[in-house]
Amino acid sequence: MKKEDAKARINAIGIVPCARADAPELADFAAETLYASGLPIIEIPMTVPGALDVIANLARRHSDLVVGAGTVLDEDEAQRCIEHGARFITSPGFVPEVVAQARKAEIVVFPGAITPTEVIAAWRAGSDFVKLYPAITAGGKDYVRAIKTPLSHIPLIVTGGVNQLTAFDYIRAGASAIGVGAELLPREALIHRQDYRIRELAERFRNKVRAARQHRADQP
């Protein structure tokens, strides 16, 4: 998958699910369930046991799945993720070497940032998006709106505190996408293989994104 294709899909769908799982098979189940439900994006954090193998297997099985690596903290780890097939790289904070490595490999990258200075630095380093994290502690939707007012050209993926109640407001406030973890992929649903529950949650979040984007488009 080319970088522009992965970037376009993230923009189009507006949701980046994060599979924070206790075992590789649970992360794999999460990704496969979302893929089957029409949400072909998944972040596999490096905190998942065997994360690199999960990424490699998913990338091999699905050429159209935007599978990425999360919680990537240094250049060497970024390179290993890329070698195992990651189609995007993300971090909780701005690590310039990680951004540079992803850019060199021509894959999507979105580091974390919270202050305007960090957001600007991450964007100037060549990030495709900037992950506003943790948004909830910074002021939620009002903070997103405040950041977007002077920095409207920087696409934000809002994470940290995103749920069914806040998803609409974050997109309406100007976020390009939302990052969602346990609110979309509950631990119990993974352990008990409740694919129906995950599919229902995926549809709810998709509806929230669609409604918020329509609301935004309707504003004068």
Total number of domains constituting the chain? 1
Helical pair 24-36 and 51-61, crossing angle rounded to 10 deg: 30
Q: Range of 144's domain?
A: 3-218
Whether the pTM exceeds 0.85: the reply is: yes
Q: Are 82 and 48 in contact (CB under 8 A)?
A: no
SS3 label, residue 178: strand
Question: Which pLDDT does position 64 carry in this prediction?
Answer: 96
Question: Which pLDDT does position 66 carry in this prediction?
Answer: 98
pLDDT tens over the chain, length 220 residues = 899 999 999 999 999 999 999 999 999 999 999 999 999 999 999 999 999 999 999 999 999 999 999 999 999 999 999 999 999 999 999 999 999 999 999 999 999 999 999 999 999 999 999 999 999 999 999 999 999 999 999 999 999 989 999 999 999 999 999 999 999 999 999 999 999 999 999 999 999 999 999 988 887 6
Burial of 44 (0-12, 13-18, 19+ CB in 10 A): buried
Q: What is the CATH number of the domain that holds 139?
A: 3.20.20.70
Q: Which residues, in sequence order, are bridge partners of residue 113?
A: 132
Question: Which pLDDT does position 186 carry in this prediction?
Answer: 97
Amino acid at 164: Q
Sign of the Cα pseudo-torsion (157, 159, 163, 165, in order): negative
In angstroms, the CA 129 to CA 157 distance is 7
Q: Which residues, in sequence order, are bridge partners of residue 66?
A: 41
Question: Which pLDDT does position 217 carry in this prediction?
Answer: 87
